[in-house]
Structure 1
């Protein structure tokens, strides 16, 4: 990769929607040697409003115009997945590092092209799998690495959500259940975080197979997925994702079983997890979450660009979640 030549990262954001209100973009001004200098959205009224509320001096309705702004030296793509590939092509062609929202793209093949474009242009590519940098997940990884629950045997993901009562009236506004935009349904939106986090803990998934279906027929995308997977170190995993469950059955839990104990946690929780060891009382941990949830990961990107560290979430790792998801939904049951 070519050396980042500036002493400050000056961000331009493409697609300042909800994720940019608190989770991500505001953090760019809270990190040393990092500034948010320009934002873009096709809706002029909305982008002007965002810029005014967040104190951003430059706004655009054209992605190309923002990317070519000479003051902007790093691009954050915060659009839905269907635009990620094309915008990455444009940013890479302009020689600017890319930080892209998750899932990285709609398909694994789109991810591979994004990686190729950035590698050819010698610019780094990062993906917003920010759980890799959150304190409680770093603590879990440290416990796993030090053998706190012995040798890892199995991993199980259990995610169940109920259908929103007014979903059918909001379908036109809900890109997350439109496969042409998102690549799939809520599975692609949420399971991507889980599979990437397990990749962070245990390495890449080398084998995956599963079944998907559309049971409730509330939208076109899959609403249920079950499957199994194998990590490169031989650990076995299973997953059960249902997005049309009852409210009573709602669940967000990952269980990691080892030869000496177990770790349980929620992927989308409050920074908590529990360690259970043989013949010991359960240990409950809770570490505070940052107000701007992506700030630790964005900080690692700034550090890497300035030659002071490394970001744990790259195009290479991000693409692996897309590959695993594609394998798990491959067998559609009608």
Structure 2
């Protein structure tokens, strides 16, 4: 049964929900944010008051079981994604979960099974799949703008952050790993969207700088089901910030960043063509629009679901084998 309007509840109304995601649920047509939850009650209350949300909770179970909440957005760290997703599924409510989808591939599969048994959809917040710049890249690839695709190269490195030592993002028991899980997952997912699933991975990981317990460098090679080859280098203790992907084909190449907003460059026999796009104010909004359209039956189909999100976790797991 399709919903007329999707009334959302957020579990974990922290920093990511302030601008990136939270306001999107209120701005998308046929969507409304009706409740938020945070374990520290006064922070949940503060968020609700500042964002005009009618209800707030300090207990996730109360939000999940609120009859006025139709769908759940899980915006907590990955260590609690499985727990909340399974509870929401048992309550019969569609789920939109932050990335990475869970701590590992096995947890992702548990979430998928729970949602399948409950008959509820599961979406994952790899929001770049719906952003115009990546839709343009996919269009160019589908139209053979660079001929037959041969390989892809990812290079992502950045200067170390001094305030990361105690951050949950570099505590593997909470995040699944280090910044590779947090940021590298976006690249692996968008490559899955653009080029199809990855079937084989050979990787190496290390902690070179020793600024925290998790890995700070990951390198590897992978092969897509289509036969396309790829290599990736992610380092989070280098001397500058670089974020570039190159998809090379038989007749040209595409160059773009994953996390930045630099122009997409198409290089072929016609020269270099630039495609420039504004970054959405609320980066989740284009993907949330497709989720709401799918839930209300108004035409959209979300391209980031539990199956695709789990594939990214599977690939990341293989880097660490």
TM beyond 0.5: yes
Q: Structure 1 residue aligned with 2:263, among 260, 272, 275?
A: 272
Taking the aligned partners of 2:23 and 2:254, their CA distance within structure 1 comes to 33
Q: Report SS of the residue matched to 1:282.
A: strand
For residues 1-334 of structure 1, the aligned pairs below 5 Å read: 3-4=1-2, 6-164=3-161, 166-167=162-163, 171-172=165-166, 174-247=167-240, 250-270=241-261, 272-278=263-269, 280-308=270-298, 309-330=300-321
- In 2, are the aligned partners of 1:203 and 1:231 still within 8 Å (CA)? yes
Q: Report SS of the residue matched to 1:85.
A: helix
- Count of residue pairs the alignment pairs up: 320
Q: Report SS of the residue matched to 2:236.
A: strand
Deviation at 1:224, TM superposition (A): 0.5
Deviation at 1:271, TM superposition (A): 5.5
Deviation at 1:294, TM superposition (A): 0.6
Deviations 1:175-194 (A, max 9, x none): 10000000000000011100
- In 2, are the aligned partners of 1:205 and 1:229 still within 8 Å (CA)? yes
Deviations 1:82-106 (A, max 9, x none): 0000000110010000000000001
Taking the aligned partners of 2:262 and 2:138, their CA distance within structure 1 comes to 14
Q: Report SS of the residue matched to 1:23.
A: coil
Deviations 1:3-36 (A, max 9, x none): 34x3110000000001100111111111111000
Taking the aligned partners of 1:289 and 1:242, their CA distance within structure 2 comes to 25
Taking the aligned partners of 1:7 and 1:138, their CA distance within structure 2 comes to 28
Q: Report SS of the residue matched to 1:96.
A: coil
Deviations 1:44-63 (A, max 9, x none): 11111100100001000000
Taking the aligned partners of 2:282 and 2:148, their CA distance within structure 1 comes to 35
- In 2, are the aligned partners of 1:211 and 1:227 still within 8 Å (CA)? yes
Taking the aligned partners of 1:201 and 1:300, their CA distance within structure 2 comes to 18
Q: Report SS of the residue matched to 2:245.
A: strand
- In 1, are the aligned partners of 2:165 and 2:211 still within 8 Å (CA)? no
| Unaligned ranges ≥5, structure 1 | none
Deviation at 1:305, TM superposition (A): 0.6
Deviation at 1:236, TM superposition (A): 0.4
Q: Report SS of the residue matched to 1:11.
A: strand
| Unaligned ranges ≥5, structure 2 | none
Deviations 1:61-92 (A, max 9, x none): 00000000000000000000000000001100
Taking the aligned partners of 2:30 and 2:273, their CA distance within structure 1 comes to 39
Q: Report SS of the residue matched to 1:244.
A: coil
